[in-house]
Structure 1
Amino acid sequence: MTSRVAAAIDSARAAGRGAFVGYLPIGFPDLATSIEAAVTLAENGADILELGPPYSDPVMDGPVIQEATQAALAAGFRLRDTFTAVRDISRRIDIPVLVMSYWNPIVQYGVDRYADDLAAAGGAGLITPDITPEAAGEWIAASKRTGLDRVFLAAPTSTDERLELIVENSTGFVYTVSTMGITGEREQLDAAARTLVARLREHGAQHACVGIGISNAEHVAGVLEYADGAIVGTALVRALGERGLDGLAETARALAAGTALGTAK
């Protein structure tokens, strides 16, 4: 089955660009606005959307995203809202929508049920930051059955054996963690990301997107010198929180300006 996510990355490359993957939390500042925000992001340069259902123990998230997800939970977010949001967004845009979820809510909901409901809503797949392929047998089977992409994370500390397993079991792309630690903007992206992408290529990865610490067009352009896509979260969430949908659109356009291949200084 063709990966919609990989196809979006290939389409961007055919147009002379790297892919821009934009993250937003579902339910921030409220469910209706978060749906509009995702559509706004798609209309202002994102090639792939990454939507995060709020979670009470977000171990990978930095303060900006944590505050947004806490606000969404306080506003009454429920897990089923994930599928409502994905359905409403997917009906209005033509780029793939990935859900980035911690594993516990998926298990609580039921892995097969989650996969079925995500596929029915028009979702493209799942990014699972806190589960490794060897522990994800049920999800791998469900994703194969439903045609959903499964995106696993690779870190600079991953062994060659682990990278082999990640590449073997990921579809769409491998989520390449640029630095160890939580999400957030950083002035200097870790050179470890470049080394890690090279290692992933050696293990056969066709699509690797880099996330964590990318906050401006220069970062995007730098990452796209060696990776297939740049993943941005904190800068977009901050723009939405501080300046609303217009601020989000402006920030998305500015980031997208860094995706033309060969634009890095």
Structure 2
Amino acid sequence: MTTRIDNRFSALRQQGRAGLVTFVTAGDPDEKTSLAILQALPGAGADLIELGMPFSDPMADGPTIQASSQRALKHGQTLAKTLAMVRSFRANDDATPIVLMGYFNPIYVYGVARFLADAKAAGVDGLIVVDLPPEEDDEFCGPALAAGVSFVRLLTPTTDEKRLPVALENTSGFVYYVSITGVTGTATPDFEAVGKAVAAVKAKTPLPVAVGFGVRTAADAAAIARNADAVVVGSAVVGAVEASLDEAERATERTVPAVAALVRELASGVRGARTADAAPGAK
């Protein structure tokens, strides 16, 4: 059975381009505005969406995404509300893949079986749970796959040849390659090194490879898109939300348009990357 993720990457291959994956935190800066942002992303050029599940201790995230989690939690965002947001999104968009990204604690508290059933029913396509290593696959990855929800694994520059097959064993949907060491949004990737790393991963799996962490501009996105199947942008998008807020961290009339404008810019970089390489005289 093919999934929305499979269908989207198949369409991208047919178009001869990489995809743009945008990350936003559910409930940031408030539930209503967050849904409006989510609904605006596909039209602005997002091919897939990562929706962050707010958590009080997001250890893999830099200060920008940490702050977005705090804003969302302050306004009462819960895992149940995040799933409701996906259901609302699906009322008008049954094609754009949505991958929930976050940490295991809120899922554990919600209840694994209940969460997976509710996530599948809401229209969630995949999960990225950054604090569950392959050794814990029986705890959550296995049940997720059995429920028909893809489990996307993170690979990093420190994932060596011995560890790579272990990490890839139960991965589905796509592979997420982390382009830098450290937390999100804190450094710029070495694009040449990332290209070599993506090639090494592709030699070991038929799954698409998406690259994220440290991608901030259209030029960054274009550089990654030349080798990867998708480019993930998180901190820059969340930063656009933050920059649009008023002094009390409330949404303004600029919030949704500001995010959409940045995503359009990023999408332009991604979509033009391979075209530029194929142009006469391109090097």
Same fold (TM over 0.5): yes
Residues 131-169 of structure 1, C-alpha deviation per residue, up to 9 Å, x if partnerless?
A: 122212232332232211110100111122321122221
The 1:180–1:190 alpha-carbon spacing in structure 2 relative to 1, beyond 3 Å, is farther
Moved more, 175-184 or 77-86: 77-86
Aligned residue type for 2:256? L
Give, in whole Å, the separation in 2 of the partners of 1:140 and 1:65: 24
**Contact 1:54 1:72 (C-alpha < 8 Å) held by counterparts:** yes
Q: Map Cα deviations across residues 201-238 of structure 1 (whole Å, 9 max, x no partner).
A: 12124311001000111111111111100000111111
Q: Check conservation: 1:116, 1:146, Cα contact below 8 A.
A: yes
Give ranges in structure 2 of 5+ residues lacking alignment. Answer: 245-254, 278-282
Q: Which residue of 2 aligns with 1:97?
A: 98
Task: Name the CA distance, whole Å, in 2 between partners of 1:131 and 1:169.
Answer: 12
Quote the residue 2:211 is aligned against. Answer: 210
Say if 1:13 and 1:19, in contact at 8 Å, map to a contact too.
Answer: no
1:250 maps to what in 2? 261
Residue number in structure 2 paired with 1:122: 123
Residue matched to 1:70: 70
For 1:156 and 1:131, the matched residues in 2 are separated by 18
Equivalent position SS for 1:257:
helix
Report whether the alignment pairs 1:225 with 2:226.
yes
Aligned pairs (5 A) from 1:96-175 = 96-175=97-176
The answer to whether the Cα contact below 8 Å between 2:180 and 2:188 also exists between their aligned partners in 1 is no
Let me know the Cα RMSD of the aligned residues.
1.7
Question: 1: CA distance between counterparts of 2:15 and 2:190?
Answer: 26
Determine if contact 2:50/2:99 at 8 Å carries over to the other structure.
Answer: yes
- Post-superposition offset of 1:124: 0.5
Match of 2:80 in 1: 80
- On the 8 A contact 1:111/1:139 being kept in 2, the answer is yes
Deviates more, 1:190-199 or 1:71-80: 190-199
Q: Which ranges of structure 1 fall in alignment gaps of 5 or more residues?
A: none
Aligned partners of 2:180 and 2:189 also within 8 Å: no
Give the Å deviation of 1:190: 5.3
- Aligned residues of 1:155 and 1:179 also touching (Cα < 8 A): yes
User: Does the CA-based 8 Å contact 2:191-2:223 persist in structure 1?
Assistant: no
Instruction: Classify the secondary structure of the residue corresponding to 1:165.
Output: helix
- 2: distance between equivalents of 1:186 and 1:219? 12
Equivalent pair of 1:3/1:171 in contact (CA under 8 Å): no
For residue 185 of structure 1, report the CA deviation from its aligned partner: 5.7
Separation of aligned partners in 1, 2:261 and 2:182: 28
Contact 1:21 1:49 in 2 (8 A): yes
Partner of 2:51: 51
Match of 1:3 in 2: 3
Task: Please tell me whether the aligned partners of residues 211 and 230 of structure 1 are also in contact (alpha carbons under 8 angstroms).
Answer: yes
- Is the CA contact (8 Å cut-off) linking 1:153 and 1:176 kept in structure 2? yes
Q: How far apart, CA to CA, are the structure 1 residues paired with 2:84 and 2:190?
A: 35
Largest Rg, 1 or 2: 2
TM (norm. structure 2) is: 0.88
CA drift of 1:191 comes to 4.1
SS at match of 2:163: helix
Q: Is 1:182 aligned to 2:176, yes or no? A: no
Alignment match, 1:35: 35
